């Protein structure tokens, strides 16, 4: 696809650095559109799913099955006034929503959407993903601080404490797979699962990944940062209009990208028989998203200290054990195979 774009630009006598810039801009627009369309669909899906779990109907007026409801909502948010309370820390407050979307956007180029469908095939893809997604906390802490509001500050602090803590088991759960594949390249990881998905080899790691990623996404049962009953709306209490929409968008974009990562690491990525690879991929990703929704709408919220205890006293030791066991098995497996023969 890149080659096609460059050829097309060459026809128009555009080469060199300008062509590079144009191609990069095309990627950017493409990624943005992809994220926005998917996020709108996911929002609709979430509302329909929650309605289903609560025996309601959910949005069903605009378009078939209410599919266009999210579009209408987005237009409504665009038209709303952007309010900045006077006591806020001006630049920190204004920059937070803009910054929150950057890491979400930077994650997508390296994800393999199908056979050959990866924009940038990075050698250290997994490390890149982990590093960039760890910066999501910056915008949250900026929003929480800049709002100059106790609910926002408490929400922001809770989010950061939670995200930093749960990042550890999240990353540790991936190390077993890195050890098995011997590469940080996401395409290599997918190709290594041609015969067997890693969820069969690393079931413990998958469970840890699932729990830790729910906490990373601040979704129920780990939605303490936005616990409505205690904190109004957490770190984005003071934001309105388009600024609020940015946070909302980034949240669902992160849900989407983490689901993609989960599918890539544990569920064989785009691998599958009969259908084209991208159909398999989208199918698996949406299945994963549905699991997240299922958990969100069926489990009650956990208490703050218990959540921290679960992480530090249970998940981290467990993930360390998983690394140890994986290393042991990698060394011992050839011997066991010989012995069984």
Partner 1 sequence: MIILFYLFSAILLAFALGTVISTNLIHSALLMMGSFFAVAGLYLLLQADYLAMVQILVYVGAIAILLVFGVMLTRKGSIEESNLPNRYKTIGLVTALGLFGLLARSITYTRFPSPPLESPPQNIIAIAQAFLLQYIVAFEALGILLLIAILGAILIGKEPK
List contacts with partner 1 (CB under 8 A).
89, 92, 123-124, 127-128, 130-132, 134-135, 137-138, 141-142, 145, 153, 157, 160-161, 164, 167, 184
Closest contact distance (angstroms) between CB of 104 and partner 1 is 15
Task: Name the minimum Å distance from CB 296 to partner 1.
Answer: 25
- The CA-atom distances, in angstroms, between 106 and each of 27, 78, 99, 126 are 11, 24, 11, 13
Nearer Cβ to partner 1 (204/323) = 323
Residue nearer to partner 1 on the CB measure, 156 or 262: 156
State the CB neighbour count (10 A cutoff) for residue 317: 12
Q: Reduce the secondary structure of 222-281 to three states and give it as a string.
A: CCHHHCHHHHCCHHHCCCCHHHHHHHHHHHHHHHHHHHHHHHHHHCCCCCCCCCCHHHHH
Closest CB to partner 1 among 91 and 294?
91
Residues 158, 161, 162, 165, Cα dihedral to 10°: -170
Smallest gap, in angstroms, from Cβ of residue 242 to partner 1?
22
Q: Comparing C-alpha atoms, which of 293, 266, 299, 241 is closest to residue 50?
A: 293
Q: Is the peptide bond before 221 cis (omega within 30 degrees of 0)?
A: yes
Least Å distance between CB 259 and partner 1? 21
* Residue number, 125 or 268, with CB nearest to partner 1: 125
Cβ atoms of 238 and 85 closer than 8 Å: yes
Q: How far is the CB of 145 from partner 1 (least distance, A)?
A: 6
Q: Are 245 and 167 in contact (CB under 8 A)?
A: no
The least CB distance from residue 237 to partner 1, in Å, is 17
Taking the chain, what is the end-to-end CA distance rounded to the nearest angstrom?
A: 48
How far is CA 299 from each of CA 37, 74, 206, 294, rounded to the nearest angstrom?
Answer: 28, 29, 19, 9
User: Nearer to partner 1 by C-beta: 46 or 167?
Assistant: 167
Report the 10 Å Cβ neighbour count for 191: 15
- Measured from the CB atom, the residue of 60 and 183 that comes closer to partner 1 is 183
Residue that has been written with the tokens 């413990």 in this structure: 204
Q: How far is the CB of 110 from partner 1 (least distance, A)?
A: 11
Q: Which is nearer to partner 1, 70 or 147 (CB)?
A: 147
């Amino acid at each position: 696809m890149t080659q096609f774009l460059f050829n097309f630009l060459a026809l128009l006598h555009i080469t060199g650095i300008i062509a590079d810039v144009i191609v990069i801009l095309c990627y950017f627009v493409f990624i943005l559109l992809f994220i926005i369309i998917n996020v709108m669909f996911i929002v609709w899906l979430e509302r329909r799913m929650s309605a289903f779990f609560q025996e309601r109907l959910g949005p069903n007026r605009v378009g078939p099955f209410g599919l266009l409801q999210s579009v209408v909502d987005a237009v409504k948010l665009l038209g709303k006034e952007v309010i900045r309370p006077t006591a806020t820390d001006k630049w920190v407050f204004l920059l937070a929503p803009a910054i929150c979307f950057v890491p979400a956007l930077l994650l997508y180029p390296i994800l393999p959407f199908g056979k050959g469908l990866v924009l940038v095939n990075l050698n250290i893809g997994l490390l890149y993903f982990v590093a960039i997604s760890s910066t999501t906390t910056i915008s949250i802490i900026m929003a929480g601080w800049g709002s100059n509001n106790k609910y926002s500050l408490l929400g922001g602090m809770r989010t950061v404490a939670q995200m930093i803590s749960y990042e550890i088991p999240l990353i540790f759960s991936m190390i077993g797979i890195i050890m098995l594949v011997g590469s940080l390249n996401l395409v290599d990881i997918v190709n290594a699962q041609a015969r067997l998905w890693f969820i069969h080899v690393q079931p413990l790691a998958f469970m840890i990944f699932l729990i830790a990623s729910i906490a990373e996404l601040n979704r129920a049962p780990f939605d303490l940062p936005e616990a409505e009953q205690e904190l109004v709306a957490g770190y984005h209490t003071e934001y309105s209009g388009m600024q609020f929409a940015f946070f909302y968008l980034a949240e669902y974009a992160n849900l989407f990208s983490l689901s993609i990562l989960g599918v890539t690491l544990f569920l064989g990525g785009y691998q599958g028989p009969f259908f084209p690879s991208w159909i398999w991929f989208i199918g698996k990703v949406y299945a994963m998203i549905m699991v997240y929704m299922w958990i969100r709408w069926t489990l009650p919220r956990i208490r703050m200290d218990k959540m921290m205890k679960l992480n530090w006293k249970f998940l981290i030791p467990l993930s360390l054990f998983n690394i140890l066991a994986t290393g042991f098995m990698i060394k011992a497996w050839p011997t066991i195979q010989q012995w069984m023969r």
